A and B are shown apart, each in its own frame.
Chain A
Amino acid sequence: MDEISVMNNEFDTTQYIVINIGDEQYGIDIKYVDNIVRMQKITRVPNCQEYFKGVINLRGEVVPVMSFRMKVGLPETDLTNKTRIIIIKLEQNAPVGIIVDAVREVVTLSENNVDPAARNSTNTDASYINGIGKCGDTLISLLDLNVVISEKDKE
């Protein structure tokens, strides 16, 4: 019985990688995640956007890395040994790394467990979240990577 219900669900479920930023949890669609690497030396690029911390060497490829906190306007924190760089690869585009505080787990959410993001005009974060996932009692903000990575918020 269990197996059958899993099978049925498979059509409208998505797997997300759950990351921590402070106390909040965010979900990244696993199909865009190319890799997750530990923090490593980042070469600073002068005169570029502030939220780009620089570039890293990912097995011979030069990959730009951005700080998620800076991108969404949160204060920077110290790096810990839980800090990770998630390498995102949107279709066709070159990879880009996102620094997150920690990577927790992978969850599978079916479509009926995902609510559309609340469009709250006072909440500036709402634009890069395209849904809220419910997993047990925890809520996971599902990131719209296109918005996170794109150049939109030029202050």
Chain B
Amino acid sequence: MDVNQYLEIFLDETNEHLQSLSDQLMILEKEPENADTINEIFRAAHSLKGMAGTMGYKRMQALTHDMENVFSEIRNGKMKVTSQLVDVLFQTLDALEEYKNTIQETQDEGTNDNAAIIQALQKCLDEGTGAASAAATSTPAGGDAKKEAGSAADEGADDDRKWKSIKLQEHEINALKEAEEKKMNIYGCTVYIQESCILKAARAFLVFKALEELGEIIISDPSTQDIEDEKFDFDFSLYLVTQESYDKVEEAVMSVSEIEKVIGEAIPIETILDGEVEESKPAETEEAAPAAQDIKPEANVPASAAQTAPAPAQGGAGAPAKKAAGKPVVNRTVRVDIEKLDVLMNLVSELIIAKNSLVSYSSAGQAGTNNSNFNEQIEYLESVTTNLHESVMKVRMVPIESITTKFPRMIRDLSKKLNKKMELYMTGEDTELDRTVVDEIGDPLMHMLRNSADHGLESTEDRIAKGKNPVGSIYLDAYQDGNNVVIEVKDDGNGIDVEAVKRKAIERGTITAEQGENMSSKEIIDLLFLPSFSTAKVVSDVSGRGVGLDVVKSKIEALGGDVSVKTKLGEGSTFSIRLPLTLAIIQALMVIVGEEKYAISLGSIDTIEDISESEIKYVEAKEVINLRGNVIPLVRLHEVLGLEASADKKDRMIVVIVKKGDQYAGLVVDELIGQQEIVIKSLGKYINCTSRMISGATILGDGEVALIIDANCLI
């Protein structure tokens, strides 16, 4: 059994369970008595443990196991949920997350035992359950399952003890006698696997492995070979020789997940010898053939275990050896709705049909077929490719939910750390963005939330003094706006103190006092995005080291988006991020400047105007036009692109008005070609555009390369 193929599923599901645990814990903290939540948590923890066990990640399993114990006690009403307990549980989740990450990178869980967290969990358990703790800790795993199994075991006690019907051969009896002489304990036990278990052979193998660590399995029924081949129902019986106590044995068996129960007891050697006299004779004849494999039990057990090992052990022992160096072993995946795939498939078949009909036209076409039919096919092809593009884009889109879900937890932690009361309200988590963008904006958003929590919101005392709600609010709103997605982080804190920023900037020498006088408050706020600029008076653990907003800004800009701030002193501030929906294909306006073709993203274009030379005014020696009350600076594209001005001075100019947020600029172009869907290609890292105004290139229908002008850089 090679577990590698399950690794992706394992990681996916681990992610889901961890997220659900984190969400539910948040709820639990608010509603400690919510039975549904507790059950939900318990289920998630339990599945997580099972999965880790199946994959052979023992440390992870051990940790989840301890966590599950705590939940189990809570569920049974023996423990109360305290804030302190939730803290420890969150720490546990972090540790689990770490395991998951290590597994993702190396396929191995690493060597961190997280003993401190396990101890903390135990401590919580001990404190929480008080006197009852001794029992709970000594048989932690068994606790739950045993109780469930308890009633069933009482009823049909003898039927359950199937090991009694194992027929022993002479070798086995000799082995048992030998063990008896060595003062070892002999246990007969029957292990029941949950009927819902899918990989029962693997479970059985894990049980065998666990037991072999404690002692020696003399015989099992069915034989190890049959168990390995999954030729058994949901139970198997065995004789075990060990020096450990029965409790230890039971614990070892129950540590394997999906084990329903284990029933067993110590067997005095006499009983075995008695039984042998009666049963050995028929046994020999009956089982001669099938038991052939069991004939040399002492040698056979380790040997067959070794046989079994190569297959299932690849998960446990084998995986670490196969360590992949460097890059993560698991590729990033997107879960795609099957419907979307169907649509794609349909479109592709339509595309093939369209291609075929074009082929038939071109082969039959020489003899003067009518052009209209041909055009019809082209149009058809066009609609198919547009639809295809849209569908592929949809497949790449994921809701930003995947990153926002971790924020409530973060705000909770921050609230504790900063000792401020705050709440996070989120809307529009279902807004969809390209996968690559979603992956990238997680960190910037986190920065901004931290920023709001730390700098934005006042301390609880200040808020009370100001007559505000002592609990601060942070809002994270996402919505789609045309071809853009806007994400806003808003707080109802103190807002940005423009004067303080100005003082600080002057103090730091970023600007001179005179410059400060002439700057608008907007320009001053923009200073916050400069590297190493933090207004927090005290550098805290959370933020204030001045590596926040500038990183946010550069990251967002790298994604083709931008950040802006609105603030009102005393009432709070709003940071909004504007991101393009997709990165790969855009609608663009093709223009001609000089003799070169350029593309301008349609998303940034506001209007196209026809301006006469006489309308140009000058402000501070710069050309501007007054367009319907807006003063818009003019940018002569041939100048910034390093071209010579066209010789014939035309009176009327074509001006493309571009907009970024609420700022405008007019780009003077020579000619318009029209609107086109273009595929963005990178220029590569060799070419170094000093002004960054070329954001990429695209290939036109005739094979020519046209450059894409990033209008944002010209404003």
- A interface residues (Cβ-Cβ under 8 A, vs B): 41, 43-49, 52, 54-57, 60-64, 66, 94, 96, 149, 151
Contact = CB atoms under 8 A, between A and B. Distances in A.
B682 to A, nearest CB: 7
A64 B699 contact: no
B144 to A, nearest CB: 53
B334 interface: no
Contacts of A96: 684, 686
Contact of B683 (A44, A57, A62, A149): A62
A67 B179 CA distance: 86
A61 B681 contact: yes
B683 A46 contact: no
Given A46-B642, A57-B703, A52 B697 contact: no
B688 interface: yes
A94 B685 contact: yes
Contacts of A54: 705
B694 A64 contact: no
B684 A56 contact: no
Given A60-B699, A62-B682, A48 B707 contact: no
10 contacts: A43-B706, A46-B642, A47-B693, A47-B694, A49-B687, A49-B688, A55-B707, A60-B699, A62-B683, A151-B686
B681 A62 contact: yes
| Contact residues on B (Cβ < 8 Å of other chain), bracket | 20 to 34
Contacts of A60: 699
Contact of B690 (A48, A61, A149): A48
B705 A62 contact: yes
Nearest to B703: A57
A43 B641 contact: no
B621 interface: no
B198 interface: no
Nearest to A95: B684
Contacts of B685: 94
Contact of B705 (A47, A49, A57, A151): A57
Given A41-B704, A62-B699, A47 B683 contact: no
B704 A45 contact: no
Nearest to B700: A57
Contacts of B642: 46-47
Contact of A43 (B596, B684, B693): B596
A44 B707 CA distance: 9
B691 interface: yes
Interface string B675-715: 00000011111111111011001110001111100000000
A54 B698 CA distance: 13
Name, among B683, B687, B698, B706, the residue most crowded by chain A CB atoms within 10 Å (CB to CB): B687
Interface in B406-458: none
Contact of B687 (A55, A57, A61): A55
Given A45-B707, A55-B707, A61-B681, 4 more contacts: A43-B704, A43-B706, A52-B687, A151-B686
Contacts, number: 73
Secondary structure at chain B's binding surface: helix, strand, loop or mixed?
Answer: loop
Contacts of A49: 687-688
A5 B619 CA distance: 80
Given A43-B697, A45-B694, A64 B705 contact: no
B699 A94 contact: no
Contacts of B704: 41, 43, 57
A44 B641 CA distance: 10
B684 A47 contact: no
A49 B686 CA distance: 9
Contacts of B705: 43, 54-57, 62
B338 to A, nearest CB: 31
Name, among B642, B686, B704, B705, the residue most crowded by chain A CB atoms within 10 Å (CB to CB): B686
CB-CB nearest 4 A-B residue pairs:
A43-B705, A62-B681, A46-B641, A94-B684
B684 A151 contact: no
Contacts of A64: 683-684, 686-687
B684 A48 contact: no
A44 B706 CA distance: 9
A11 B281 CA distance: 74
Given A41-B704, A57-B704, A62 B697 contact: yes
A41 B689 CA distance: 20
Contacts of B690: 47-48
Contacts of B689: 45-48
Interface string B626-643: 000000000000001111
Contacts of B682: 62, 94
B414 to A, nearest CB: 40
A13 B596 CA distance: 46
Contacts of A46: 640-643, 689, 691, 693-694, 707
Nearest to B640: A46
Nearest to A49: B688
Contacts of B684: 62-64, 94, 96
Contacts of B698: 62
Given A48-B687, A49-B688, A96-B686, A43 B681 contact: no
A46 B699 CA distance: 17
Given A41-B704, A57-B705, A151 B596 contact: no
Contact of A57 (B596, B641, B699, B707): B699
Name, among B683, B694, B703, the residue most crowded by chain A CB atoms within 10 Å (CB to CB): B683
A149 B685 CA distance: 11
A135 B405 CA distance: 67
Contacts of B640: 46
Nearest to A60: B699
B683 A55 contact: yes
B659 to A, nearest CB: 23
A60 B680 CA distance: 11
A43 B698 CA distance: 11
Interface string B656-684: 00000000000000000000000001111
A55 B697 contact: yes
Name, among A47, A54, A63, A64, the residue most crowded by chain B CB atoms within 10 Å (CB to CB): A47
A47 B703 CA distance: 23
A52 B686 CA distance: 9
Contacts of B693: 46-47
A45 B699 contact: no
Contacts of B688: 48-49, 151
A122 to B, nearest CB: 29
Contacts of A61: 681
B24 to A, nearest CB: 44
A52 B643 CA distance: 16
Name, among A54, A62, A66, A149, the residue most crowded by chain B CB atoms within 10 Å (CB to CB): A62
B270 to A, nearest CB: 74
A66 B688 CA distance: 12
Interface in B638-655: 640-643
A45 B703 contact: no
Contacts of B699: 57, 60, 62
A61 B690 CA distance: 22
Contacts of B691: 46-47
A52 to B, nearest CB: 5
Interface string B157-200: 00000000000000000000000000000000000000000000
Name, among B643, B697, B705, the residue most crowded by chain A CB atoms within 10 Å (CB to CB): B705
